[in-house]
Amino acid sequence: MDTKIEDRFSRCRLLFGEDFAKIEAAKVIIFGVGGVGSFCLDALYRTGVKDITIVDSDVYEVTNQNRQIGSENIGDSKVKVLSRIYNGVKPIEMLVTPKWIDEFNFDEFDVVIDAIDDVPCKVTLANKVANKLISSMGGAKRVDPTKIKVADIWKTNIDPFARKIRYELKKSGFKGKYLVVYSTEEPLTKGLGSFVGVTASFGLTLSSLVIKRILEK
C-alpha cells in the first residue's frame, strides 16, 4: 500500500520537485518588514526558504495595524517580533543608512529584497548589489492590486516614486538594471493612506520574483 509523508512543505515539494532543494539552500535578506516586506517574509518562509535575514529599526505603531504582520505588538521591535513568529529568521535591528549599506557584506546572500521607503538607501542598494536586487516601488495610496506590474527600473511608468528613484539613479551615475514591483494605478491621495490588499500584493509579488530567481540558479 502506498504511503505518503506529509509535513509543512509537502505541497511545495509537489510543486517544485527536485528544485525545492534550491529554495531550502537559498540565503535571502529583506530590508524593511512593514506592509510590503512582512508579507514577502511570510511567503518566503512558508515556501521553504530557511535562511532569511530581516533588517529594520522600527517599532510597531497603532497605525501599522491596517497592513503589517505582527503589528498587534504595539511598541515592540518589528524584527524581534517577526523573528519570534517565524522561527529561525535572523533579525538585524538597525537604522539603515547609505553608509551602513556601503559597509555591509552582501556576499553570502543570493537575493537582496528592498522594501524600504528611504530614497538614498534604495539608490545605494542599487549601486552596490543591483545583480542581486529586487525592489519595491510605491505600494501606498492605491486600491487596485490588478494594476501591479514588474519591470526593469528604467521601464517603469506612472508611479511617481519609481520616477523619483530613476532620477536619483541617473544623478548617482548608475548604469545597471534590476527588477522592481510597481503600480500603474495613479495615487489616490497625497497622504499616507494604504490598503493591505495592495501592499500585501506587492510583498507577495516580490516573493514570487525571489523564488523564480532562486530556481534560475
- 8 HSE (CA, 13 A, CB side): 7
Q: pTM for this one?
A: 0.96
Q: Tens digit of pLDDT for each residue in 114-164?
A: 999 999 999 999 999 999 999 999 999 999 999 999 999 999 999 999 999
Domain residues for the domain of 184 are: 11-216
CB of 47 within 8 A of CB of 21? no
The CATH code of the domain that includes 45 is 3.40.50.720
Residue 133 identity:
L
Residue 107 identity:
D
Assess if residue 5 is contained within a domain: no
* Domain total in the chain: 1
Assess if residue 22 is contained within a domain: yes
Assess if residue 6 is contained within a domain: no
Assess if residue 129 is contained within a domain: yes
Q: Tens digit of pLDDT for each residue in 92-126?
A: 999 999 999 999 999 999 999 999 999 999 999 99
Q: Mean pLDDT throughout 53-58?
A: 98
Q: Tens digit of pLDDT for each residue in 166-210?
A: 999 999 999 999 999 999 999 999 888 999 999 999 999 999 999
Assess if residue 178 is contained within a domain: yes
Assess if residue 187 is contained within a domain: yes
Assess if residue 4 is contained within a domain: no
Assess if residue 161 is contained within a domain: yes
